[in-house]
Amino acid sequence: MTETALANRVAKSGDMEAFAQLVGMTQGRVRAFVLRLTRGDRALADDLAQETYLEAHRKISQYRGDGTFSGWLIRIAWSRFQMHLRSRGPTTKELEETIAAPSHDPSLKLDLERAMAQLSAPERAALTLCYAMEYSHAEAAELLALPLGTVKSHVTRGRDKLRALLSNGEMTS
């Protein structure tokens, strides 16, 4: 059964087995995305992913099936992550500018992950969606609730920063 069909069953009859299947089918993708956003903080990523599914269950009647269910979850996860950032500081932008220090999570062994950790959250999200998760720029813009031009800027700027970080030898592990 497809994600959309399962989501419809949950919305119509509150079928918990269908919701359990949906969680099982999508959790890897959602958690991987959130883990990238949290720069490898697994505990925080799992908390945010759980909140994402709870909100998805509450609002499942709002899912119209015009995109993939995973995409809808990604949108909620991004919104949850932004709420988390706001709860920690005055504004997302200020916070993002102050967290340029690389993560000390020992699990971030790969050069790319260490370099990614130095980008802003919107840059990490845009690059992850457009490359690793194979969304188009337009789809990423919709998921992140950002104008298309802004997403393209994040992708370009993020790529430039990554190239510099990965080329200057700082990232050799």
Partner 1 sequence: MNDGDLDRLLSRRLAEPEDNGFSARVLARLAQGNTRSARMEGIAYGVTAAVAVTALALSGVGEAVARITPDLIQSQPLGIAVAALVITGAFLRWSWGR
Among positions 6, 18, 19, 151, the unique one binding partner 1 when judged by CB under 8 A: 19
Residue 128 is classified by DSSP as I
Among 3, 8, 9, 53, binds partner 1 (CB under 8 A): 53
Q: How many residues bind partner 1 (CB under 8 A)?
A: 32
The two three-digit tokens of residue 149, written as one number: 């031009």
Binding partner 1 by CB under 8 A: which of 44, 55, 57, 105?
57
If one asks whether residue 144 binds partner 1 (CB under 8 A), the answer comes out as: no
Using CB under 8 A, which of 41, 44, 50, 153 touches partner 1? 50
Residue nearer to partner 1 on the CB measure, 24 or 106: 24
Q: Where are the alpha helices (DSSP H) in the chain?
A: 3-13, 16-37, 42-58, 69-88, 92-98, 111-116, 121-127, 137-144, 148-167
Sign of the Cα torsion 68, 81, 47, 51 reads negative
With beta carbons less than 8 A apart as the criterion, state whether 7 and 19 touch. Answer: no
Residue 59 binding partner 1, by CB under 8 A: no
Q: How far apart are CA 126 and CA 29, in angstroms?
A: 15
Is residue 106 involved in binding partner 1 (CB under 8 A)? no
Which residues are at the interface with partner 1 (CB under 8 A)?
Answer: 16, 19-20, 23-24, 27-29, 31-33, 35-36, 42, 46, 49-50, 53-54, 57, 112, 127-128, 131-134, 159, 162-163, 166-167
